[in-house]
Amino acid sequence: MKKIFSVIVAVGAMLIAAESATAQLRTSYFMNGSTQRYEMNPALSPLRGYISIPVAGSLYTSLETNFLSADNFFYPNSEGNGVVTYMHKSVSADEFLKKLPDVNAIEFGLNDQIFGMGNYFKGGFWSVGIRLRSESNFDIPKDFFALTKTLSQGTYNISGMGLESNNFVEAALGYTFPVQDVFTLGFRAKVLLGLAHVSAKIDKLNVEIGEESYRAEMAGSLKTNIAGYNFQEIEGEVSMDSFLSHVTNFNNFNPSNIKSIGFAVDAGIEWLFKDEQIRLSAAINDLGFNAWSANNSFCATIDNVAYSFSGYDLATNEVIFEQPENITLTPTTDTSDGKTNLHSSIVVGLEYNFLGDKIGVGALWNTKSYENRKWNSIGGAVTFRPTRWLTASTTYSWVNSLGVLGFAFNTHTTFINFFFGVDYIATKYGTAKGGAIPIPLNQNSVNLSFGLSIPLSPRMF
């Protein structure tokens, strides 16, 4: 028991240490036949081993936001026919802007299993896999939308706009095993090969709209890491055009210059009660980092850059627009710190099963956070297992206080394993074009996951 208690304490400590998260399909978590839930918690091995179909074995893609819903940008026409955009004069600025958060975030994720295999061997479950992963997020301050809506005289502070994108290949080795028929523990070790990373921040962007001209002043920073590119060839201050020319010129790429490598771990636990009727589980994923060579890194500041627009000169047939000859990047010494942390994830699930395990009801919580925000999700799930080869699950979750519906199904016969699921299904619709086009309301995100694999040996524990 002392050993078991130590394991629980260790896993709990890792959960508390986590600070951020990446997305996976939440609706798959209680579907014991799917291989997708194994990615969320390495302790939840599937009913059978598997060999994934290359590229199509497990694909997850998502677009998640905290503001991009149709009812935030489209409004009923005051004349009673159809809808209008937020730019229409009948929609006041206060009515539009009160729906938006201070920081409007967009996150895009892609997780594709290029190769994957797992099987039961000598009392445990072993897995290997290679994945291509891409995670990007973009922050837009509310003042940006205030500017597009009003275009009235005044000064707008659009500071805080930022972009981050992290792209890498992951090779993983996992092992899952039972402990005294009460616990199941799972671990996964990962080696990462960074492909490209970019982080751009606009620390200052003031837009001034006056009677005779528009003026904008900007300053910020840029950090770029690209495998195989030698940025040491860029010396001194450089214009943005020269920098982009260097990046897009494939002749500057050298495979021998790929020197980025990283490491990460996943850890999970499942605790069984009352002859497996009650199952409590928790996991942390992607606790690690990617390290880049200084040669593959470029960090610079963008000094105060000013633009102005004064109108159109009818006499000369020219637009009166002033801009700097070059946007200059001034290199900084941040290239010595080439480490980029992964967005790790926390997930905790509790499920109660009845009618011979044919129906399960559960609750699931997970979280992820970025530099300026945190995403939280908590919800309930009902899972149906009418036969040993078919599982379906439906969920209702609250993601940052917005309720969303999810659905997934999985056929896991002895010769094929097929999975399909979504976490975001609209439950309320409006219409456009006289009712011909349905518009989902109260839905600001979409995601999709599917997988196809060939089953192997049945579960041993």
Could you identify the residue written with the tokens 């890792």? 14
Q: Tell me the C-alpha distance between 433 and 83, whole Å.
A: 9
Domain that holds residue 13: 2-458
SS3 of residue 333 by DSSP:
helix
Q: How many CB atoms lie within 10 A of CB 197?
A: 23
**Chain-centre distance of CA 290, in angstroms?**
17
Instruction: Check which CATH number belongs to the domain holding 449 and give it.
Output: 2.40.160
Give the model confidence (pLDDT) of 382-399 as tens digits.
999 999 999 999 999 887
In the prediction, which pLDDT does 2 show?
Answer: 41
In the prediction, which pLDDT does 77 show?
Answer: 78
Q: How many domains does the chain have?
A: 1
Q: Tell me the C-alpha distance between 295 and 180, whole Å.
A: 50
Q: Which residues contact 10 (CB under 8 A, 6 or more apart)?
A: none
Q: Which residues of the chain have pLDDT under 70?
A: 1-23, 80-82, 334-337, 369-374, 400-401, 431-436
pTM exceeding the 0.75 threshold for the entire prediction: yes
**What is the DSSP code string of 282-324?**
EEEEEEEEEE--GGGEEEEEEEEEEEEEEEEETTTTEEEEE--
Nearest residue to 68 (alpha-carbon basis) of 447, 443, 448: 443
Q: Tell me the C-alpha distance between 287 and 189, whole Å.
A: 10
In the prediction, which pLDDT does 17 show?
Answer: 34
Q: Tell me the C-alpha distance between 440 and 22, whole Å.
A: 25
SS3 of residue 9 by DSSP:
helix
In the structure encoding, which two tokens stand for residue 108, read together? Answer: 């895009």
In the prediction, which pLDDT does 27 show?
Answer: 94
Q: Which amino acid type is present at position 49?
A: G
In the prediction, which pLDDT does 288 show?
Answer: 92
Which residues are paired to 75 by β-bridges? 84
In the prediction, which pLDDT does 415 show?
Answer: 94
In the prediction, which pLDDT does 149 show?
Answer: 87
In the prediction, which pLDDT does 369 show?
Answer: 65
In the prediction, which pLDDT does 251 show?
Answer: 87
> Which helix (H) or strand (E) element contains residue 144?
helix 142-150
Q: Tell me the C-alpha distance between 455 and 441, whole Å.
A: 40
In the prediction, which pLDDT does 6 show?
Answer: 37
